[in-house]
Amino acid sequence: MIKADRMKATIAQHFFTSCLCMFLTAIICAYLQNKYSVDRVGILVFALMSIVGLVFSITFAFLQKKLKQNIKNTVILTSILAIYLVLLNYFYHVQINDYIFLGWQLKFTFLQKIINSAYSFWLAYLVPFIISFFYAKIHTKTLLN
């Protein structure tokens, strides 16, 4: 019984784990913004990603606790989100923008459309929620059978 109680994660553990991961992501993305961008507004990127990461961490921690997920699941899902956000930010700054040379004839590749889309940033935050929800549903169905 004691071992089972140790496996239960609290909301605070889920929150601090995901908040730490999102905070590190905000630092890396702010650094990339200062390094590769002309604007050098890394502090604004840091502020935006920190606030969004904080809101994400709070809501994700409550969902993980409600679905009775372990901390390993939280670490994996927030790490995947963090890696995706860092790669998205990196590719946004280092991609070759051929449309500058083409004038008004914008011909983006599929990857450039994904990188330049605002939806690819905001919808990425929904992916851990969806995966966690489906994992909990599959796990409870397996336990019931």
pLDDT in tens, 80-138: 999 999 999 998 888 765 555 555 556 677 777 888 888 999 999 999 999 999 999 98
Average pLDDT, integer, range 67-85: 95
Range of lowest pLDDT (27-36, 54-63, 101-110, 129-138): 101-110
- Rounded Cα distance between 62 and 15, Å, is 8
CA dist., res. 80 & res. 44, Å (int): 23
CA neighbor of 88 nearest in space, from 126, 33, 20, 39: 33
pLDDT value for 1: 43
Contacts of 33 (CB under 8 A, 6+ apart): 39, 40, 41, 42, 45, 89, 93
pLDDT above 50: residue 50: yes
Across 4-31, average pLDDT: 87
pLDDT score recorded for residue 103: 57
66 vs 38, higher pLDDT: 66
* Lowest-confidence segment of 43-47, 55-59, 94-98, 119-123 by average pLDDT: 94-98
CA 36, CA 95: separation in Å to the nearest integer?
11
Average pLDDT on 11-21 reads: 95
- Average pLDDT for the chain: 86
Torsion, Cα of 76, 78, 79, 84 (10° steps)? 130
Q: What percent of the chain has pLDDT over 70?
A: 83
Is residue 65 over pLDDT 70? Answer: yes
Q: Tell me how far apart the alpha carbons of residues 121 and 45 are, in angstroms, rounded to a whole number.
A: 13
